Amino acid sequence: MPMSADHPGTDANPRTSDGPGAETALTKKIDPAREPLSRRTVLVAGIHLIEEDGVRQLTMRRLGAKLHVEAMALYRHISGRDDLLDGIVELVMDDLYADPEVHIESGVWQDYLTRLGHGVRRLALTYPQVFPILATRPPAAPWLRPPLRSLRWTESFLGTLRQAGFSDDAAVRAYRSFSSFLLGFLLLEVAALGSDTGPVEQADPGGPTKVNLNDYPNIKELEQGLSQDLSSVEFEESLEAMLDRIELFMRRDHRH
């Protein structure tokens, strides 16, 4: 993924002048010879902060500190906390769009949807804390459906399906089914992920507040199965089942 190329603020040590920035070390004082902030730098730092400490810890002040800057300096690049979150969502979607594994124009729509589905899943598993934001923030237009919430993605999706012979109606229905499947499945998958690594509050040491299952015999007996992680297999199967269903109403529409 392109984004992981640069992690500003991830290194705690203030960087000494290196790389192509030799002249900036001359024009500036001895002080932190950091390159000036950019919107992208701020957004990427925001993503890392969310993944490390959770969204609730993403405050202007903490983000500023991470970038060795006062919180107020961030307002040069983002218009506020909401813009920060929207920007992060946009950046992540663009990142997915640039993913060569995902974005191959292929004549076979099943290939396209499979690759796209896996791409979104990879995104969700890479940024498990960011994904719920992507899923719940109100999109720019009401007909943009998370997690495929950018105009570019929606355009690409609809275009590919129509080119593959989908009617207008079938393409739209496919877009809806696909979105709701990905959203439901992946939201539950990252939630299950988070409960392992979740908010490490540990109220009282001496057991993680284990639920008493005495009154719930069915849960008790199936607990093992419930806890088992079969996400990869189930994702594959469910994705295929959904593609079959899409094919069904694609063909039905055609016959008409």
- The residues binding a second copy (CB under 8 A) are 132, 135-136, 138-143, 145-146, 151-152, 154-155, 158-159, 162, 168-169, 171-173, 175-177, 179-185, 187-188, 191-192, 194-196, 198-199, 211, 213, 215-219, 221-223, 225-227, 234, 238, 241, 245
- Among the listed residues 143, 146, 149, 151, the one whose alpha carbon sits nearest the alpha carbon of residue 172: 143
Interacting partner of 194 out of DNA, a second copy, none (Cβ under 5 to 8 A depending on kind): a second copy
Interacting partner of 37 out of a second copy, DNA, none (Cβ under 5 to 8 A depending on kind): DNA
Distance CA 63, CA 48 (A): 10
Distance CA 230, CA 234 (A): 6
> At closest approach, how far in Å is the CB of 121 from DNA?
30
> At closest approach, how far in Å is the CB of 101 from a second copy?
23
Q: Of the two residues 7 and 61, which places its CB atom closer to DNA in the complex?
A: 61
Q: Of the two residues 41 and 238, which places its CB atom closer to a second copy in the complex?
A: 238
Q: Of the two residues 13 and 218, which places its CB atom closer to a second copy in the complex?
A: 218
Interacting partner of 64 out of DNA, a second copy, none (Cβ under 5 to 8 A depending on kind): DNA
Q: Of the two residues 37 and 242, which places its CB atom closer to DNA in the complex?
A: 37
Could you tell me the two tokens for 41?
A: 């730098």
Residue 62 CA: distances (Å) to CA of 58, 68, 146, 188, 207: 7, 10, 28, 29, 32
Interacting partner of 155 out of a second copy, DNA, none (Cβ under 5 to 8 A depending on kind): a second copy
Residue 155 CA: distances (Å) to CA of 125, 143, 151, 161: 25, 12, 6, 10
- Among the listed residues 140, 141, 135, 178, the one whose alpha carbon sits nearest the alpha carbon of residue 157: 178
What residues line the site for DNA (CB under 7 A)? 36-37, 57-62, 64, 69-73, 75-76, 80-82
Distance CA 132, CA 127 (A): 9
Q: φ, ψ for residue 50 (rounded to 5)?
A: -65, -45
